[in-house]
Amino acid sequence: MTAVKAPARDRAQASGGIAAAVKGRLQQLLAFASLIVIFAFFSFASPFFFSYGNFTAILFSTVVIGTLAIGTTFVIIAGGIDLSIGTGMALCAVMSGVFLVHLGLPLWLGVPAAVLFGGLMGLVNGINVALLKIPPFIATLAMMLVAEGLALVLSDSTPIYFNDVPGYTDISTGNLIPGVNFPNAVLVLLAIALIAGVLLTKSVLGRYTYSIGSNEEATSLSGIDVRKWKIAIYAFAGLFIGLAGVMISARLGSAQPATGMGYELQAIAAVVIGGTSLSGGKGSIVGTLIGALIISVLNNGLQIMSIPQEWQNVILGCVILVAVYTDRIRKKETT
Amino acid sequence: MTGVATMTEPLLEVEGVDKSFPGVRALHDMRLELRSGEVLALVGENGAGKSTLMKLLSGIHTADTGRFRLGGEPFEATSPRHALELGISIIHQEFNLVPHLTVAQNVFIGREPRRGRLLLDERRLNADAAALLERLHLPLDPKAVVGELTVANQQMVEIAKALSYEPRVLIMDEPTAALNEAEVETLHELIRRFVRPGTGAIYISHRMEEIKRIADRVTVIRDGEYIDTLDMAGASTPEIIALMVGRAIDTDAKPEGVRADRDVVLSVEGLSTKALLKDVSFDLREGEILGFAGLMGAGRTEVGRALVGADRIDGGTITLRGKRIRVANPAEAARHGIGYLSEDRKRFGLLLEQDVRANIALGALRDQFTRAGFVRDRAAREKAREYVGTLRIKTPSLEQTAKHLSGGNQQKVVIAKWLAKDCDVLVFDEPTRGIDVGAKEEIYQLLNELAAQGKSIIMISSELPEILRMSHRVVVMSEGRVTRVLDAAEAGQENIMHYATLRPDENPADAAELGIEVGKAGQP
C-alpha cells in the first residue's frame, strides 16, 4: 500500500502546478521582486531615475559585472569559487592592449586572443583545483595575485590606450542597431547571457556543472570524469574573464592594469543575490542577471539621489545579507 | 561466452584476493562465486570486508593480488565506469544520487542522449526514463527532483539506474536499510525479474529473514576472510550467525556482576528523534559500563549524539540524578558532566595540530585554567602532567603535537580532557576504533578503572567481543529502537545478533510517517 501511495505523493510534490513552480524558483522570484521594489522606490524617490537614458545607463553599467558574474555562476554551481576574475579581467584588458596596440594584430584576431587568454587562466585554475587538488579558494586567490602582478608588469604599470585601434571602443559604446541609442555592450551581455543560459540548462557541460556541485562523489561513481569536467568548467568561466577584459577596456578606451581588484566580490555578490548556492548544485543565469541588475540599479539610484559613494557599499552589503538569509530560511522550511 | 548459460555455471568469480590499507589488512585470500541465474547473499559482521570487496568489484579500489573472472573471462575493474562497461552495476550503501537533478537525469547521468555533440536531448531523456520505469513497474515521475523524493523512492531510482545499464551482475549493499515491508517486497520483485540465466545478483544484508526469502545461497565472510557458502534451503539462521561471529569468546574477561545495587545516575525515557530514534529508554547506574550493540544504522551512535545534544531531540526525557535536564548542545551536556568521545577522534575529538597540554586543557579552559581571560599555562600544564601520569599516556613531552601520538594515546588524551572537565558520565563511541590490539587492552583496563572509580560509562561499539568483554549490561538496538537489554551473564554473540537483526514491528501508518520524515531529512 505504502509503496503505491508514496510515489503519488512525490509526483504531487514535483508537479503540483504553480505552487511547486513558485516554491522551486522562490529565490529567483524574490530577487526579481526586490529588483522591482528597488526600481519602483527610485522611480518615486528621484525624478531623474525613470527615463530611457537612465535605463540604458543602468544596463550599460551592468555589462562588466554581469559578464564576470555569468562565468562565475558556472564555477559556483559546480561547488567552486573564483577569486581571480577581477584582476584576471584587468590582465586580459592589458593583453588586449598588448595584442592590438603593441603587436598591432587586427581586431578580428586580437579580440578573440584576449578572450582566449582568459580561458587559459581559467584552464590553469581548473588544473590547480582538479588535478593538484588545491582548494578553489586558495588556487584562485593565488591566481588573483599572479594576474594582478602580471597586469602591472606587462603594461609597465601604465594604461594602454586604444586610440590607434579603430573600431575598438565601438565594441562597447557603438550602436549596432542604427538610429537607436542602445549600446553594443548591452547587446553583448544579452547575447552571452542567452548562450550561457542555454549551455547551463541544455548542454552536457551544464548538466555536469550541477551534478558535480550537487554530489561530486555520486557523479564520479556514475562513471563521469569529474576532474576533466572541473577543468572544462573553470576554463569555460575563464572565457568570460577575457570577454569582461575586452568590454571594460573598450568602454574606457584604455586598458587600466590596476582596476580589477574588487570586481570579483561584486560579481560573486551578484551570483549570490541571484539565488545561486555557494555550496553548489543550484543556481541560474537569469538569477545572476537579476542579481547584477540589482547591484547596478542600487548604485545608479543611490548616485542619482546623491547618496555618498561610501554608503552605497554599506547598502549593498546589507542587500547581500538579506538575500542569503531569505535563501537560508527557505531551505530550512523545506528541510 | 556464447550460448545459453546454465544455472550452475559460474558468472562472477573472485579468487585469492588480498587488499591492505595502511595499517589494516582488509581482505585476505578472499573468495566468492556467483552462479549464473542466482541471487547470492553475502553476510558478515560490520568490518568483515564486504564493502571493501564491493569497492574492488566496482573499480573504486584495486586489489593487491588475486583474480577476478566474469563469465570465465579474467577482468580487473579500473574505474566505476569500467565496471559498468564490464556489466557490473553496484548499488552502494550510501546513496549515490545527485539530489538537485531529476529522476531521469540521475538514471542516465553520464549517458545523456544528445543532439549534436554539446546539447542534451531532454525530451528523449525523459521518454527513455519513462519507458525504463514503466518496464520496471516503478511508479515514479521521471521529472521529479530526486532530493524531494522519499528515501524509499530514492532507493528505487538507484535500482532503476543500476538496471538501466543492463548489467550481468547486480550488487546491492544493504538495499533495504531504508525500506518498509511493502517496499522490500517491491525490491525483491525487481530482483527476481532481473535474475535469469546469464545474470546474477549479490545481495548484502544483515536481515536474515530477507536473505532467506530472496537468496539461493549465502556466502559468509569474517575478518576479511572467506568462511563458507551454504545453500539457503538447508541453512538455518543460527547456523549462519554462528559462522558470522565465529570467534572464540574470551569468557574469562567478562565483567563482574551487574551493578543493580548502585544508584541510577542517568535515566533516559522515550528518547526519539525525527531522523531515526524511536522511544529509546534505559537507565545508567553509577560505576556501570553500559554497552550499546546493534548493526550499522541501528541508532547506537545517534543515542550518544542525542544524549549530549549534538542531534536534536524530538521527544523523551533525560533525568540526571533525579533531576530532569535539557541538553540543547554539547556545551550544556558538559556542564551537566556528560562527556562525549566521538568515534572519529581525529575530526571530533582532538585538536590535531595542538599539543597534548592544549588538548587536555581545552574543555575545562574557562572553568579552571584562566584568570581574567588569560590562560594560566602553569595550571594547565600541571593538570596535563597529572593525567599523563594517571592515564599512562605515552608521550615524549606535554608539548608533543596530538597528531603524532598513537591511536591509543590519542584516545587517552581525549579521556583526560573530559576528566579534567569533571565529567562523570562518559559516552564512548567506538572507544577502540583504529587502535591496535595491544593498546586496546590498555583502553579496556582504563575503562574498568574509571568504572571502579564510580564513573558511569556508555560504550557504543560495533565489535561484539568488545561489548561482551566490557559491558555490565548490553542495550541491543535495531532500526532506531531498543529491542532488548541483556545482563552480562545472559549476553552472548548469538542472542545479541538475534536482537540486533530483529525487525521491530511497525504498523503501516507509522512506517509511512517514518518514510516521509526520513525523506525530508535527507534533503540537502
Encode chain A in three state secondary structure: CHHHHHHHHHHHHHCCCHHHHHHHCHHHHHHHHHHHHHHHHHHHHCCCCCCHHHHHHHHHHHHHHHHHHHHHHHHHHCCCCCCCHHHHHHHHHHHHHHHHHHCCCCHHHHHHHHHHHHHHHHHHHHHHHHCCCCCHHHHHHHHHHHHHHHHHHHHCCCCEECCCCCCCCHHHHCCCCCCCCCCHHHHHHHHHHHHHHHHHHHEHHHHHHHHHHHCHHHHHHCCCCHHHHHHHHHHHHHHHHHHHHHHHHHHHCEECCCCCCCHHHHHHHHHHHCCCCCCCCCCCHHHHHHHHHHHHHHHHHHHHCCCCHHHHHHHHHHHHHHHHHHHHHHHHHHC
Q: Which of B96, B91, B140, B155 is nearest to B515 (CA)?
A: B155
Residue B357 distance to chain A (closest CA, Å): 31
pLDDT of A279-323, one tens digit each?
Answer: 889 899 999 999 999 999 998 999 888 888 888 889 888 888 887
Say if A309 is an interface residue toward chain B (CB within 8 Å): no
The size of the A-B interface in CB pairs under 8 A is: 125
Q: Which of A202, A203, A223 sits opposite B110 (nearest CB)?
A: A223
Q: What is the pLDDT of residue B510?
A: 39
Q: What is the pLDDT of residue B310?
A: 87
Q: Do domains B10-245 and B263-521 have the same CATH topology?
A: yes
Residue A333 distance to chain B (closest CA, Å): 10
Q: Which of B122, B145, B153 sits opposite A202 (nearest CB)?
A: B122
Cα dihedral B204, B208, B213, B216 sign: positive
Residues of B in contact with A219 (CB under 8 A): 98, 109
CB contact under 8 A, A335 and B152: no
pLDDT at A24 over 90: no
Taking CA atoms, what residue in B is nearest to A216? B98
Q: Which of B100, B112, B139 sits opposite A7 (nearest CB)?
A: B139
Q: Which of A8, A199, A221 sits opposite B96 (nearest CB)?
A: A221
Indicate whether A72 belongs to any domain: yes
Alpha carbon distance B29, B39 (integer Å): 23
Indicate whether A53 belongs to any domain: no
CATH class assigned to B10-245: alpha beta
Paired with B24 in beta bridges are: B21
Q: What is the pLDDT of residue B481?
A: 92
Q: Which of B317, B398, B407, B316 is nearest to B360 (CA)?
A: B398
Say how many residues make up chain B. Answer: 524
Paired with B476 in beta bridges are: B293, B484
DSSP result, B120-142: E-HHHHHHHHHHHHHHTT----T
CB contact under 8 A, B92 and A2: no
- Cell numbers for A304: 542619482
pLDDT of A156-210, one tens digit each?
Answer: 999 999 999 999 999 999 988 887 788 999 999 999 999 999 999 999 999 999 9
Residue A23 distance to chain B (closest CA, Å): 12
Q: Which of A6, A207, A223 sits opposite B515 (nearest CB)?
A: A6
Say if B137 is an interface residue toward chain A (CB within 8 Å): no
pLDDT of B134-168, one tens digit each?
Answer: 998 888 999 999 988 888 889 889 999 999 999 99
Range of the domain at A96: 66-286
pLDDT of B208-255, one tens digit each?
Answer: 778 889 999 999 998 889 999 999 988 888 788 888 877 544 445 667
B263-521 fold: Rossmann fold (3.40.50)
- Cell numbers for B298: 541501528
Q: What is the pLDDT of residue A8?
A: 40
pLDDT of B88-118, one tens digit each?
Answer: 999 987 778 999 999 999 999 989 999 988 8
Indicate whether A15 belongs to any domain: no
Binding-face residues of A in 267-306 toward B, CB within 8 A: 279, 281-282
Domain ranges for chain B: 10-245, 263-521
pLDDT at A251 over 50: yes
CB contact under 8 A, A214 and B521: no
Indicate whether A318 belongs to any domain: no
Average pLDDT, stretch B204-209? 81
pLDDT band at B506 (very low <50, low <70, confident <90, very high): very low
pLDDT at A2 over 60: no
CB contact under 8 A, A221 and B92: yes
Amino acid at B410: Q
Minimum mean pLDDT range among A111-115, A227-231, B19-23:
B19-23
Number of domains making up chain A: 1
pLDDT at A18 over 50: yes
The residue of A5, A207, A229, A278 whose CB has the most chain B CBs within 10 angstroms, and thus the best one to mutate to test that interface, is: A207
Alpha carbon distance A11, A2 (integer Å): 14
Residues of A in contact with B186 (CB under 8 A): 3
Task: Give chain B's end-to-end CA distance (angstroms, integer).
Answer: 45
Q: Which of B181, B430, B180 is nearest to B296 (CA)?
A: B430
Indicate whether A138 belongs to any domain: yes
Indicate whether A325 belongs to any domain: no
CB contact under 8 A, A214 and B143: no
The residue of B51, B60, B90, B100 whose CB has the most chain A CBs within 10 angstroms, and thus the best one to mutate to test that interface, is: B100
Largest Cα span, chain B: 84
Cβ-based burial of B332 (10 A; exposed 0-12, middle 13-18, buried ≥19): middle
Taking CA atoms, what residue in B is nearest to A331? B524
Torsions phi, psi of A62, nearest 5?
A: -85, -20
Indicate whether A242 belongs to any domain: yes
Residue B159 distance to chain A (closest CA, Å): 13
pLDDT of B356-379, one tens digit each?
Answer: 888 888 888 777 787 877 888 888
pLDDT at B508 over 50: no
Say if B113 is an interface residue toward chain A (CB within 8 Å): no
Q: Which of B92, B120, B144 sits opposite A204 (nearest CB)?
A: B120
Return the residue matching grid coordinates 594582478: A148
